[in-house]
Amino acid sequence: MSNKVAKLTLEGSTESIDLPVFSGTLGPDVVDVGGLTAKGLFTYDPGFMSTASCKSAITYIDGDKGVLLHRGYPIEQLAEGSNFLETCFLLLNGELPDAEENLEFAKSIRYHTMVHEQLYEFFKGFPRDAHPMAIMVGVVGALSAFYHDSLDINDEKHRELAALRLIAKMPTIAAMVYKHSIGQPFLYPRNDFSYAENFLHMMFNTPCDEAKVSPILAKAMDTIFLLHADHEQNASTSTVRLAGSTGANPFACISSGIAALWGPAHGGANEAVLNMLYEIEDESRIEEFINRAKDKNDPFRLMGFGHRVYKNFDPRAKVMREICDEVLQDLGVENDPLFRIARRLEKIALEDEYFIERKLYPNVDFYSGIILQAIGIPASMFTVIFAIGRTPGWISHWNEMISNPYKIGRPRQLYTGHVKRDYPKK
């Protein structure tokens, strides 16, 4: 795999340690530090800034150039020509489906859209004002209590069935969470609708009033799911891999991914963007918030700006910005005060030296929050929408790991506590 070697010499030692260097098909070479343990050394890399935790053939990101490829295909091309379900197939299987596979996959997803009837009972136990992500973590994890025929992680068929079930049921559970919060009856899925259409139907229709879902909004929703479908070894995907490396079942693993996604530095940012825009309240206060974001003594950050990997622009944000314009125009709300604040904020931040120097650009969550708000989805549901979109990515990574030789994920540490001391005699 490699004939390059990195040499590590510790100060004061005459011996150097040879570390193999591996090259992927794209991206930086990686130094294999696995052999260091035998030499009594660990590497130290808080936040995994320089650590490749695994090999993967699913997604490639070049953060400096703003490139995102799924199985080799650029995200912009997928957003234009593909749809969410086809992209799910691509992520899971490595290749685009042919016409027959496409139909078959969509049919299999439709077959699994309903949830076990007993699951409805769960919702009675959750307070109406519970955060939707709190319910998602619980209910998705609880799927493992119902679907015993897809829990054997060593059986390829079980893994495939779990993947279909998770992708199919996430919108149903998400819509149930929303209906529960507003006290309306749950709606059963409509299998004659597309994936995104069905989700909007379950969210906004009622048994007494069934309106047609706007094709523009359904397309926007589908693209939002697609743009979130995978993002290589981000915090939630790495959480899914770590949980999966213990042999835990897929529903439990995806539930752990949902928990990791919830934080405002990750998927929770889209909700935080909206809360920030409400807090700003008026265009005249934008400067005050920009100054707070720059103040090192203030923990406030401009939500929806910056990314660990993208240091040029977020290619998903570029597509999302275009959809944002379309949706706001379609709904006739482009002059809504909240959206005007968002536009001004974006302009000022893009021209400000502090943000330019640190390469802080609006990320995918800046625009997705604005679109979802315009569609009428409450901010507390935004991260749930992200979770629906990211589900195929989580499962693809989990499946890739389980299908290949793997070890339990077990990082080490730089211990800084007390050295050994004796418990005081009494």
Residues at the site binding ligand CMC, with contacts judged by CB under 6 A: 231, 234, 265-267, 269, 293, 301-308, 358, 360, 363-365
Q: Which of 266, 282, 298, 336 is catalytic?
A: 266
User: How many angstroms separate the Cα of 323 from the Cα of each of 317, 330, 392?
Assistant: 10, 10, 22
> Is 180 tagged catalytic?
no
| 202 vs 229 by CB, closer to ligand CMC | 229
Shortest separation between residue 413's beta carbon and ligand CMC, angstroms? 20
Report the residue closest to ligand CMC, judged by CB.
306
- Separation between Cα atoms, residue 351 and residue 233, nearest integer Å: 31
| 131 vs 231 by CB, closer to ligand CMC | 231
| 82 vs 368 by CB, closer to ligand CMC | 368
- Separation between Cα atoms, residue 396 and residue 164, nearest integer Å: 11
| 155 vs 295 by CB, closer to ligand CMC | 295
Q: Are strands 30-31 and 16-22 parallel, antiparallel or unpaired?
A: antiparallel
CA 77 to chain centroid: 20
Shortest separation between residue 301's beta carbon and ligand CMC, angstroms? 4
Closest to 315 in 3D by CA, of 231, 219, 222: 231
For the chain, the maximum distance between any two Cα atoms, rounded to a whole number of angstroms, is: 81
> Is 418 tagged catalytic?
no
Q: Which of 201, 228, 365, 397 is catalytic?
A: 365
Shortest separation between residue 240's beta carbon and ligand CMC, angstroms? 14
- Separation between Cα atoms, residue 152 and residue 253, nearest integer Å: 13
Q: Are strands 16-22 and 4-9 parallel, antiparallel or unpaired?
A: antiparallel
Collect all residues with Cβ–Cβ distance below 8 Å to 215 and sequence separation of at least 6. Answer: none
Strand partners, 363: none
Output the six-digit token pair for 175.
């819509």
Q: Which of 222, 307, 314, 397 is catalytic?
A: 307
CA 244 to chain centroid: 17
Shortest separation between residue 269's beta carbon and ligand CMC, angstroms? 3
Residue 207's CB: how many other CB atoms inside 10 A?
A: 10
Shortest separation between residue 255's beta carbon and ligand CMC, angstroms? 18
Output the six-digit token pair for 163.
């993947």
- Separation between Cα atoms, residue 341 and residue 318, nearest integer Å: 19
CA 62 to chain centroid: 18
| 276 vs 377 by CB, closer to ligand CMC | 276
> Is 158 tagged catalytic?
no
| 346 vs 365 by CB, closer to ligand CMC | 365
Shortest separation between residue 404's beta carbon and ligand CMC, angstroms? 25
Query: Which residue carries 């001004």 as its tokens?
Result: 344
Q: Could you give the residue numbers annotated as active site? A: 266, 307, 365
